[in-house]
Amino acid sequence: MSFRKELRNNRVVKYMREHAQESEAATAAGAAVPAPATEALVDGHRATRDRVARSILDHGPSSAADLASRLGLTAAAVRRHLDSLAAAGLVESREQRVYGSRGRGRPAKVFALTECGRDAFYQAYDQLAADALRWISDAVGGGKAGEEAVAAFARARFLKQGERYQRVLAEAADGMRAEALAEALSADGYAATVRRVPAASAAKAPVGAQLCQHHCPVAHIAEQFPQLCEAETEVFSRLLGTHVQRLATIAHGDGVCTTYVPAPGAAPSSARGRGPGAVPTVGTSPNESARPRGGTSHD
């Protein structure tokens, strides 16, 4: 996911959660109306605002007068909702296109959904991606050949993504490559962090680090096509210059995708054992700490 796409998604989430800039009428009423009634009033404004956006989606760029007539609202009420939608980056105003001769005066102003506004409505991107990968598999006959075809696609995709990450890691200070990778992943929507795992005792070599992805933009697809996560793990290994191990994955129901990155000199097996030196997995229950995934974990 690109930084631009992540920014759009953040704006959509912010709008849907907060519906910022509620109308002054609702705010003023809150001082005099009991809480349940105030909430109902705010919800009413929110629902009307959604109706305005939906009407633009269904009918295309529309003037305030068109929306008012279509929804049975006053033009003033429609403009208030349009102002709020515009402030959230969900609609934009433009001059109405006129085909043929145009009369005197300025063209009417119409309002259209932005790309961010369209993203606020249901999108079938996951289904489209799943259908495309399934077609790739079927096109080569399915079965083992189909799995390998999907794996080849996944590797090509993540290798391309890894090229951008490599430039970031090349500038990272010694011992901070995992943090640099987490920063690059976060810019692509993975909300990644790094947790350094201390050694069990000062006499032992450092254990390593856990690279945690708190969000996965392709989690639903990875549930069906584990090749995506396998390819991502391979790219992590190449970027960090060491063998890495997946400990927990969102696609398998864990709260966080966690990848163990051993420190130089650390034994890889220590990350997956259940003895005193085992590495706990962030985002899982104590009983699930550092559980092995057989090398084909999905995130």
pLDDT digits (tens, 9 = 90+) for 125-134: 888 999 999 9
The pLDDT of residue 289 is: 37
The pLDDT of residue 5 is: 52
Query: For the chain, what is the mean pLDDT?
Result: 76
Q: Grade residue 13 by pLDDT with cuts at 50, 70 and 90.
A: very low
Q: Are residues 147 and 270 in the same domain?
A: yes
Q: Are residues 106 and 204 in the same domain?
A: no
Q: Are residues 108 and 130 in the same domain?
A: no
Domain residues for 186?
Answer: 125-288
* pLDDT over 90 at 258, yes or no: yes
Burial of 271 (0-12, 13-18, 19+ CB in 10 A): buried
The pLDDT of residue 152 is: 96
Instruction: Round to whole Å and give the CA distance between 232 and 271.
Output: 19
Domain closes at, from 119, 147, 173: 119
Give the number of domains in the chain: 2
**Nearest residue to 57 (alpha-carbon basis) of 126, 119, 125, 128:** 119
**13 three-class SS:** helix
Q: Are residues 275 and 187 in the same domain?
A: yes
* pLDDT over 70 at 260, yes or no: yes
The pLDDT of residue 57 is: 85
Give the other-Cβ count within 10 Å of 88's Cβ: 23
Q: Are residues 156 and 278 in the same domain?
A: yes
Q: Are residues 247 and 141 in the same domain?
A: yes
H and E: helices and strands count for the chain: 11, 6
Q: Are residues 132 and 115 in the same domain?
A: no
The answer to whether 115 and 8 are in contact (CB under 8 A) is yes
Query: Is residue 296 a part of any domain in this protein?
Result: no
> Which carries the bigger pLDDT value, residue 112 or residue 266?
112
Q: Are residues 150 and 33 in the same domain?
A: no
* pLDDT over 80 at 257, yes or no: yes
**Average pLDDT for residues 171-179, to the nearest whole number?**
89
Instruction: Round to whole Å and give the CA distance between 234 and 228.
Output: 10
Q: Are residues 217 and 112 in the same domain?
A: no
Instruction: Round to whole Å and give the CA distance between 120 and 113.
Output: 10
Domain closes at, from 54, 85, 119: 119
Q: pLDDT tens, 201-219? A: 555 566 789 999 999 888 8
Q: Are residues 280 and 233 in the same domain?
A: yes
> Which carries the bigger pLDDT value, residue 244 or residue 107?
244
Q: What is the CATH number of the domain that holds 140?
A: 3.30.1380
Biggest distance spanned by C-alpha atoms of the chain: 86
The answer to whether 81 and 49 are in contact (CB under 8 A) is yes
Instruction: Round to whole Å and give the CA distance between 174 and 181.
Output: 13
> Which carries the bigger pLDDT value, residue 228 or residue 28?
228
Instruction: Round to whole Å and give the CA distance between 176 and 184.
Output: 13
Instruction: Round to whole Å and give the CA distance between 52 and 257.
Output: 39
Q: Which of 11-20, 110-119, 140-149, 166-175 has the highest mean predicted lDDT (pLDDT)?
A: 140-149
* pLDDT over 60 at 151, yes or no: yes
Give, as one character, the DSSP assignment of residue 62.
B
Q: Are residues 243 and 188 in the same domain?
A: yes
Which residue(s) pair with 79 in the sheet?
A: none
Please report the beta strands in the chain, taking only residues with DSSP state E, as ranges in sequence order: 91-95, 109-113, 192-197, 208-213, 245-248, 257-262
